[in-house]
Each structure stands twice: as structure tokens, then as C-alpha cells.
């Protein structure tokens, strides 16, 4: 008969001999969904490269310590609901959604998967996505730029560059820019400036909108932020250059392409900042407990070559500019 000591020794040997008894269970590689209404070039210096870089700085290497599930709509917003549904079916750990339409598509697809939004068009509280900025409470957090006064600031800057400005054309999306349009219209009324909007819902609408601007012959053009403006920024810049009309947009890429100026945020900084939200969620923080952020730093970029070509005196603005394109 086997004594107690021999039994314990035999049992221990058997347990140690079992496959995987000494091996740790492999850790699951987190999967991050990435949903965008436009194609997102990830080679530097394109802003989306900053998201990948931001993840890398936090220890996430694509294909190694994190898997990025990319779903880009290539300028066709009607594809976003199906792409969002794909990410939900893929059971990703968190979804990074760019733009109000993408955020809405994800929100309609899931109320449980955490969402990091980079939305430069809407108000998450008014849209019912968050209880408050400080404590969203749901599955959506991220970075929002719903600052209508920014649109009014653009008009002020244009008036400094064009003192006799009497009319502006506004390129905008049909639904995404209501608050910005309201602010710019209110500011224009106080300045005695007429505003005419030209809506662009999809890429194929841009030609019609630009033709409308050309017929209007405005004193200046304001380009609000919407998906087609991101896709076709160079085309819009080429148009205002050809038409010899002063213009302003949100990102420095616009004056870099030939527009007169931009006043807004650094888009690469926003993409990099979004990576920190993803990191917090992957480490266990609930999205509803992560405060929504709003950018607080804005930069003025002026294309001096364009100003000279238009015969504008922008010298007073140059002293306040963060960047001047010679």
C-alpha cells in the first residue's frame, strides 16, 4: 500500500508533467478598431501617422502588441454603418472613430464597446452621447471641438485681411456644421457681412458647390470642417487660388496647399492625443469615467505668398501668426 508521503510525491510529479502546467497563459493581443469617413494615409507627415506614433510611444506596436482593425470609407459616408457593424462583429476592444458621422455610426452599432471619438463638428452632450464633459457616463469619450466661436474668429481674421469685406461663401456639410453656421451667421450680421452657404454632402457634390461659389463671387471663402474638406482640401485650395479669393480653414494643411490662412488646432496633435484615450481604456478604465477633452490651444497660419498674390496687407496679422509660409 502506498504511504501518504509517496502518494503526494507521485501526484506532484503527475501535475508537473501535465502540458502547460508551468507555462503562463498567453496574454490576449488587444484589437483597436479604427473607423474613418476618408482614407487615412499613415505615412509621416500625414496626421494619422501621429495616432500610430502615439500608440507606439505608449508601448503598442501594430501587428505585435496591438492589432489595428482599419475600416476607411474613402469619402463615402453611407458606407460607415456597415463598416462600424464589421468592427462590432470583430469584437474589438475599443473603436477610434473620426468625425461625427463615424461616431454616430459606431454609437448606433454598439452601446458596450468603448469608443474614442475625434469629432471636430458636434457637441457630445447636446447629441446625447455624454451626460457631461467631465463624466461622460456612457461608452463614448474622446476629443471634441464644438466651438462655434471659432467660426466667428475666422470671420474676424478675414475682415482684418480684407477690411472692406461684404460677403463670404461658406463651404459646409448639410448636417454636421449647424452650430458653426449659426455662429458665423450671427457674427456676419453684426459686421454687416452677407453669408451664403454651399453644402457638400459627398465628394460628387463639390464641383457643384465650387461652381456656386464662382457665380457668387464672394469677398472671401470660409471652409468649415467636414469629411469632404479633408479629402479635397488641395482641390479647394487650388480653386480659391485660381479664383483669387481670400480664404480660411481649420487646419494648417489648407494654407500649405495655397489657401490664405488657417486658424485652429494641430491635427497631428489631436491624433496623438487620441492614442492616450485608447491606452487608458486598454488598461481598464471605463470610457464613461474618462473626461472628454476640448482643445485649448489654437494656431494661426498664414500663407504670405498667397497674401501677396491677392494684394492683401496682412502685416498686422503676421505678428500674431504661429507659422508664416513664405
- Here the CATH number for the domain that contains residue 260 is 3.40.50.2300
Question: Does a structural domain hold residue 155?
Answer: yes
pTM (two decimals): 0.82
Range of the domain at 48: 31-145+267-289
The answer as to whether 311 is a domain residue is yes
pLDDT tens for each residue of 125-151: 988 999 999 999 999 999 998 667 787
Same domain? For 276 and 228 the reply is no
Chunk the chain into consecutive blocks of 10 residues (it has 326) and report each block's average pLDDT, rounded to whole numbers: 49 47 64 88 66 96 95 87 97 95 95 95 89 96 83 90 95 76 86 92 89 95 86 91 95 93 92 97 97 93 96 93 94
Same domain, 62 and 125: yes
Q: Do 165 and 136 belong together in one domain?
A: no
Q: How many CB atoms lie within 10 A of CB 20?
A: 7
Q: How many domains does the chain have?
A: 2
| pLDDT tens digits, one per residue of 280-293 | 999 999 999 999 99
**258 φ/ψ sector (left φ>0, alpha ψ -120 to 50, else beta):** left
My answer on whether 204 and 284 are in the same domain is no
Q: Are residues 72 and 194 in the same domain?
A: no
Residue 283 and residue 210 in one domain: no
Do 41 and 175 fall within a single domain? no
Beta strand 299-303 with 323-325: parallel, antiparallel or unpaired? parallel
252 and 173 within one domain? yes
Amino acid at each position: 500500500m502506498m504511504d501518504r508521503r509517496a502518494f503526494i510525491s507521485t501526484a506532484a510529479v503527475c501535475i508537473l508533467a501535465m502540458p502547460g502546467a508551468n507555462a503562463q497563459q498567453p496574454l490576449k493581443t488587444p484589437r483597436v478598431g479604427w473607423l474613418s469617413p476618408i482614407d487615412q494615409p499613415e505615412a509621416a507627415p500625414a496626421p494619422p501617422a501621429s495616432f500610430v506614433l502615439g500608440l507606439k510611444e505608449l508601448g503598442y506596436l501594430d501587428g505585435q502588441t496591438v492589432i489595428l482593425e482599419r475600416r476607411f470609407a474613402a469619402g463615402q459616408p453611407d458606407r460607415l454603418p456597415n463598416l462600424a457593424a464589421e468592427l462590432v462583429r470583430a469584437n474589438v476592444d475599443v473603436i477610434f472613430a473620426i468625425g461625427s458621422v463615424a461616431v454616430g455610426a459606431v454609437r448606433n452599432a454598439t452601446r458596450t464597446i468603448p469608443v474614442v471619438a475625434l469629432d471636430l463638428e458636434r457637441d457630445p452632450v447636446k447629441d446625447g452621447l455624454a451626460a457631461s464633459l467631465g463624466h461622460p457616463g456612457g461608452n463614448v469619450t474622446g476629443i471634441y471641438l464644438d466651438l462655434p466661436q471659432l467660426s466667428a474668429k475666422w470671420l474676424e481674421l478675414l475682415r482684418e485681411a480684407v477690411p472692406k469685406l461684404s460677403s463670404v461663401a461658406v463651404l459646409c456639410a448639410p448636417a454636421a456644421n449647424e452650430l458653426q453656421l449659426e455662429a458665423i451667421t450671427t457674427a456676419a450680421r453684426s459686421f454687416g457681412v452677407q453669408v451664403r452657404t454651399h453644402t457638400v454632402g459627398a465628394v460628387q457634390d463639390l464641383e457643384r458647390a465650387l461652381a456656386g461659389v464662382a457665380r457668387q463671387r464672394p469677398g472671401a471663402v470660409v471652409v468649415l470642417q467636414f469629411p469632404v474638406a479633408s479629402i479635397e482640401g488641395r482641390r479647394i485650395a487650388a480653386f480659391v487660388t485660381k479664383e483669387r479669393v481670400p480664404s480660411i480653414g481649420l487646419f494648417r494643411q489648407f494654407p500649405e496647399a495655397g489657401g490664405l490662412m488657417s486658424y485652429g488646432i494641430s491635427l497631428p496633435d489631436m491624433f496623438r492625443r487620441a492614442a492616450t484615450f485608447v491606452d487608458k481604456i486598454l488598461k481598464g478604465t471605463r470610457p464613461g469615467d474618462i473626461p472628454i477633452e476640448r482643445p485649448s490651444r489654437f494656431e494661426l497660419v498664414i500663407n504670405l505668398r498667397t497674401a501677396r498674390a491677392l494684394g492683401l496687407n496682412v502685416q498686422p496679422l503676421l505678428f500674431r501668426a504661429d507659422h508664416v509660409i513664405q
